[in-house]
């Protein structure tokens, strides 16, 4: 029908009509082909974009996972430095947030054409990240509390989570690679379809008129060249060379696609450089970590060697201290034993006979012997005290007592010395004082006696004052004692030399006044042990003030004395006549003593007050005599047991008596005066303890007490009997 119609027209018109028809058909086919080609390319871009997004997300997850691990290692390496540790912890939190964002991006990518579901992997990621963060926070808390101090322990605690993170990172990467492979296959199929479309367009152009054919050939040639160029460059990029760039002029889809591919290549290249930099940094960090570990190991080895040396030196020092203590104890025993006889017989010489007719020089000689003997004993006591202080073995009590009564006792002791030098010795109290304080009364009295004695010794004229007051350092109450004299005073240089062993202000002071300088050192150390201190203020020729400040303990609800001068000092539990009343002993005493001189002395003074005395020279004889008297029905009222005797000492004898069921009273009599000697005697089975030289009044009172209270509670006796 179309041929008939066209046949009516001239050939030129038919040709023109045919040309126009062919052109129309060619144009229509070309339009359809171009539409299909555009649709295919758009579809290729839609499939390629998710693959690119998934690749980007997977790389971001991998990078952020690596960053988390690096920040985690930095955090644990900086455990010793709290500021650096906190900074690393903040970086770790930032990298963890970045990891979450990458996981969220992965879940938004459509991947219907692969087996793995990104949303399921995203849920796994979020669950694992939450567990990992909780585990790190737990380790962080353990580090702050000191339960974890070693980076390896912290890394070990996080190993299960880091292993799972690595596994999930690999799974995400594999899913990305699967999507990329699928996209490449689809791109190749699309490219094949595009090539076939171009071929169809070329054939139609060849059959159509020259214009249509030429146009089709021109368009086909142009498009094919650009697409082939694009494909070639894409192949270069897919081979791993992300530095190449696609240069397509124009604003058509191919040019836009080329620009997008260039942008993707640039981002991939940037990510690759960052990963390479991170890997290089990690290698440097691992190398530095290894070097630090080696340095720490060297330091640890050095510390172990130094610790071993220090332990060895400490053991040697402990042995030296023990040897010194044993030597001092033995020296104390060896000196106190003869001093017992010397001072005891001096007292007998002073008391026996009519001394009114005795020559004055004889009385002076007796007094000189006693005075120097007592001085020697005081020196021994000072040396023992300073030895115990240096060995950190001196113990102080914490009991309630009256500070006013302590001051009264010091006045009673020191008034005689002050009267001998015609000095005034005044006691003063400032404001109200607590009725009792909590401290060590024996050591406080020792401090005050020492300071008051020094004040009297270095004062030729004037007076000595002992001033007591209650003060506060802003946190707790203190009891303060000021010993003020009008003596020779001291310079600043002399004050700086005080409180040193065997040191006085200068050598001339030692020559003139005597003394070892131990008393002040002991007093200062004791004051410090009682929670206080001793300070000095002095001017040459204007006297000296020693200030003792001690902790008073808790004074809540404590009664305060407004006028302690009349309420305490003048109150005495016994009258003078009661104090001076002689003691009479009506008892049978067994004396175990190996020294003949001390045997005669002690038995003499005991018999003088009415006691019957049986003397034995060693512990074995004491055990035999005590058991024989008990079995005969005439037991001894008290046993005086010297603790160091030949054949059998007092410790062994007392223990043996208790094991044999002896329940009588045993009083330890020893020349040892160390702090633990009393406990040693009590543990051996003794009821009480007294030291040599003998304090007769104290010994008589002790004998009288145990004679009247033979069954007084004593846990040591019961334990020995049970043993």
Taking only the tens place, the pLDDT of each residue in 519-536 is 788 888 888 888 889 999
Adjacent-strand bridge partners of 545:
484, 537
Strand, coil or helix: what is 591? strand
Indicate whether 687 pLDDT > 70: yes
pLDDT value of residue 485: 93
For residue 85, what is the DSSP state? Answer: H
pLDDT mean across residues, the chain: 76
398: region left, alpha or beta (phi > 0 left; psi from -120 to 50 alpha): beta
Write out the two tokens for 221.
């040639």
Indicate whether 484 pLDDT > 90: yes
Indicate whether 165 pLDDT > 50: yes
- Please report which residue ranges of 146-209 form alpha helices under DSSP H: 151-207
Residues 6+ apart with CB under 8 A from 76: 143, 151, 154, 155
pTM assigned to the model: 0.46
At 546, which helix (H) or strand (E)? strand 544-551
pLDDT value of residue 68: 79
Write out the two tokens for 218.
């021109």
pLDDT value of residue 431: 83
502: region left, alpha or beta (phi > 0 left; psi from -120 to 50 alpha): left
Q: If you compute the radius of gyration of the chain from its CA atoms, what whole number of angstroms results?
A: 54
Could you tell me which residue, 304 or 394, shows the higher pLDDT? 304
Indicate whether 93 pLDDT > 50: yes
Count helices and strands in the chain by DSSP H and E runs: 21, 14
Indicate whether 55 pLDDT > 90: no
For residue 481, what is the DSSP state? Answer: E
Taking residues 257-269, what's their average pLDDT? 79
β-strands 433-434, 560-561 pairing: antiparallel
Indicate whether 180 pLDDT > 70: no
> In this predicted structure, which of 539-548, 666-675, 700-709 has the lowest mean pLDDT?
666-675
Surface-to-core class of residue 564, CB atoms within 10 Å of its CB (0-12 exposed, 13-18 middle, 19+ buried): buried
Q: Supply φ then ψ for residue 588, to 5 degrees.
A: -110, 120
Indicate whether 477 pLDDT > 80: yes
pLDDT over 90 percentage in the chain:
17
Indicate whether 641 pLDDT > 90: yes
Write out the two tokens for 230.
């694009």
pLDDT value of residue 513: 46
Taking residues 96-106, what's their average pLDDT? 76
Distance between terminal CA atoms of the chain?
142
* Contact call for residues 425 and 463 (beta carbons, < 8 A): yes
Q: Which residue in this structure is represented by tokens 């070309």? A: 30
pLDDT value of residue 319: 78
Write out the two tokens for 598.
């001390």
Q: Which residue in this structure is represented by tokens 């003063």? A: 428
pLDDT digits (tens, 9 = 90+) for 185-227: 766 776 776 777 667 666 655 665 565 555 555 555 655 676 7
In whole angstroms, give the CA distance from residue 462 to residue 528. 31
HEC assignment per residue over 331-383: HHHHHHHHHHHHHHHHHHHHHCCCHHHCCHHHHHHHHHHHHHHHHHHHHHHHH
pLDDT digits (tens, 9 = 90+) for 351-389: 666 666 777 776 677 777 777 777 676 667 767 666 666
For residue 567, what is the DSSP state? Answer: I
β-strands 477-485, 544-551 pairing: antiparallel
- Binned at pLDDT 50, 70 and 90, residue 152 comes out as confident
């Amino acid at each position: 029908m179309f041929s008939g119609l066209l046949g009516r027209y001239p050939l030129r018109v038919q040709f023109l009509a045919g040309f126009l028809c062919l052109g129309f058909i060619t144009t229509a086919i070309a339009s359809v082909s171009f539409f299909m080609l555009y649709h295919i390319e758009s579809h290729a871009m839609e499939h390629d974009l998710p693959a690119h997004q998934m690749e980007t997300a997977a790389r971001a997850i991998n990078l952020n996972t690596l960053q988390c691990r690096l920040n985690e290692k930095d955090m644990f390496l900086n455990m010793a430095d709290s500021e650096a540790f906190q900074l690393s912890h903040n970086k770790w939190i930032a990298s963890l947030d970045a990891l979450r964002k990458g996981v969220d991006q992965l879940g938004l990518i459509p991947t219907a054409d692969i087996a793995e579901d990104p949303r399921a992997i995203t849920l796994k990621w979020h669950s694992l990240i939450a567990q990992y963060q909780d585990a790190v926070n737990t380790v962080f808390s353990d580090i702050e509390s000191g339960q974890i101090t070693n980076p390896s322990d912290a890394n070990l605690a996080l190993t299960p989570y880091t292993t799972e993170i690595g596994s999930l990172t690999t799974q995400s990467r594999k899913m990305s690679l699967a999507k990329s492979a699928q996209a490449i296959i689809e791109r190749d199929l699309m490219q094949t379809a595009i090539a076939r479309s171009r071929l169809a367009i070329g054939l139609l152009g060849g059959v159509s008129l020259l214009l249509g054919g030429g146009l089709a050939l021109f368009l086909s040639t142009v498009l094919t060249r650009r697409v082939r160029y694009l494909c070639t460059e894409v192949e270069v990029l897919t081979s791993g060379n992300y530095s190449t760039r696609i240069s397509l002029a124009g604003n058509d889809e191919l040019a836009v696609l080329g620009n997008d591919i260039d942008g993707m290549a640039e981002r991939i290249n940037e990510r690759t450089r960052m990963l390479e930099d991170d890997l290089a940094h990690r290698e440097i960090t691992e190398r530095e970590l290894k070097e630090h570990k080696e340095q720490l190991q060297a330091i640890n080895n050095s510390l172990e060697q130094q610790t071993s040396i220090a332990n060895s030196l400490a053991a040697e020092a402990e042995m030296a201290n023990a040897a010194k203590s044993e030597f001092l104890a033995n020296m104390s025993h060896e000196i106190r034993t003869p001093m017992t006889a010397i001072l005891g017989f001096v007292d007998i010489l002073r008391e026996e006979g009519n001394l009114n007719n005795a020559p004055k020089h004889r009385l002076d000689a007796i007094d000189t012997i006693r005075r120097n003997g007592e001085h020697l004993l005081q020196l021994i006591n000072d040396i023992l005290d300073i030895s115990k202080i240096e060995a950190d073995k001196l113990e102080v009590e914490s009991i309630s007592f009256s500070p006013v009564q302590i001051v009264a006792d010091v006045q009673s002791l020191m008034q005689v010395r002050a009267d001998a030098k015609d000095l005034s010795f005044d006691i003063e109290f400032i404001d109200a004082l607590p009725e009792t304080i909590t401290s060590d009364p024996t050591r406080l009295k020792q401090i005050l006696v020492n300071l008051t004695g020094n004040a009297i010794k270095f004062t030729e004229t004037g007076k000595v004052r002992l001033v007591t007051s209650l003060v506060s350092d802003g946190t707790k109450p203190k009891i303060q004692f000021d010993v003020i004299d009008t003596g020779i005073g001291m310079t600043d240089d002399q004050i700086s030399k005080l409180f040193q062993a065997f040191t006085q202000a200068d050598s001339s002071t030692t020559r003139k006044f005597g003394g070892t300088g131990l008393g002040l050192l002991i007093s200062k150390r004791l004051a410090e042990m009682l929670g206080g201190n001793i300070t000095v203020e002095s001017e040459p020729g204007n006297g000296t003030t020693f200030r003792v400040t001690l902790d008073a303990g808790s004074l809540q609800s404590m009664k305060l004395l407004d006028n302690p001068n009349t309420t305490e000092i003048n109150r005495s539990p016994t009258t003078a006549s009661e104090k001076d009343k002689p003691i009479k002993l009506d008892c049978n005493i067994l004396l175990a003593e190996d020294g003949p001189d001390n045997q005669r002395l002690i038995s003499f003074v005991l018999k003088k007050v009415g006691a019957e005395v049986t003397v034995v020279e060693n512990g074995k004889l004491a055990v035999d005599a005590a058991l024989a008297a008990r079995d005969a029905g005439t037991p001894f009222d008290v046993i005086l047991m010297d603790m160091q005797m030949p054949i059998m000492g007092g410790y062994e004898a007392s223990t043996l008596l208790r094991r044999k069921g002896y329940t009588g009273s045993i009083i330890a009599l020893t020349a040892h005066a160390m702090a633990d000697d009393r406990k040693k005697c009590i543990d051996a089975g003794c009821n009480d303890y007294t030291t040599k030289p003998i304090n007769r009044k104290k010994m008589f009172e002790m004998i009288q007490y145990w004679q009247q209270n033979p069954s007084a509670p004593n846990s040591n006796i019961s334990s020995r009997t049970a043993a």
